[in-house]
Amino acid sequence: MSTYDRSNRRGYGTPQRWVDRTGGPTLAELDPTRWHEKAACRDLPSALWLDDYAQTSTSRGAAICQVCPVQRTCLASALVFGDEYGIYGGTTSTERASLARRLRRGDTLGAVLDETLASRRSSRPVAGAA
């Protein structure tokens, strides 16, 4: 199969018990059936989001994440359920390990999500800029 429906990429697993989900999506909102169908990666080749092919946050897969309508939920899900490999929400596994350390130190999920995604938006090239 040449494409991989990332909407099936993970189940509704066990949340990391140490994540303070304040400010982030509820567990009900993280239910894949509520957001996967809106994913920009749906029906695209999974290789774009696998670590072997997408080592950096500037990869093509990660660029698609930046315009995905469910990016925040996707990143929240990866952090809450501990997805270790691949690009999720535009972050690499290495970047998520860093975010997980923040969560383990007590930062809330909402704060981690908002700061991470805001930093991505501010570093995105402005259309039409030289």
Residues that bind ligand SF4 (CB under 6 A): 6, 39-41, 49, 64-65, 68, 70-71, 74, 87-90
Q: What token pair was written down for 24?
A: 């982030």
CA angle in degrees (0–180, nearest 5) for 44-122-36: 30
* Comparison of 87 and 100: residue with beta carbon closer to ligand SF4: 87
Complete DSSP assignment for 91-124: B-HHHHHHHHHHHHHT--HHHHHHHHHHHHHHHS
In the bound complex, what is the minimum distance in angstroms from residue 113's beta carbon to ligand SF4?
12
Alpha carbon 82 to its chain's center: 11
H or E segment to which residue 76 belongs: helix 71-81
In the bound complex, what is the minimum distance in angstroms from residue 101's beta carbon to ligand SF4?
21
* Comparison of 103 and 117: residue with beta carbon closer to ligand SF4: 117
* Comparison of 17 and 36: residue with beta carbon closer to ligand SF4: 36
In the bound complex, what is the minimum distance in angstroms from residue 29's beta carbon to ligand SF4?
14
In the bound complex, what is the minimum distance in angstroms from residue 38's beta carbon to ligand SF4?
8
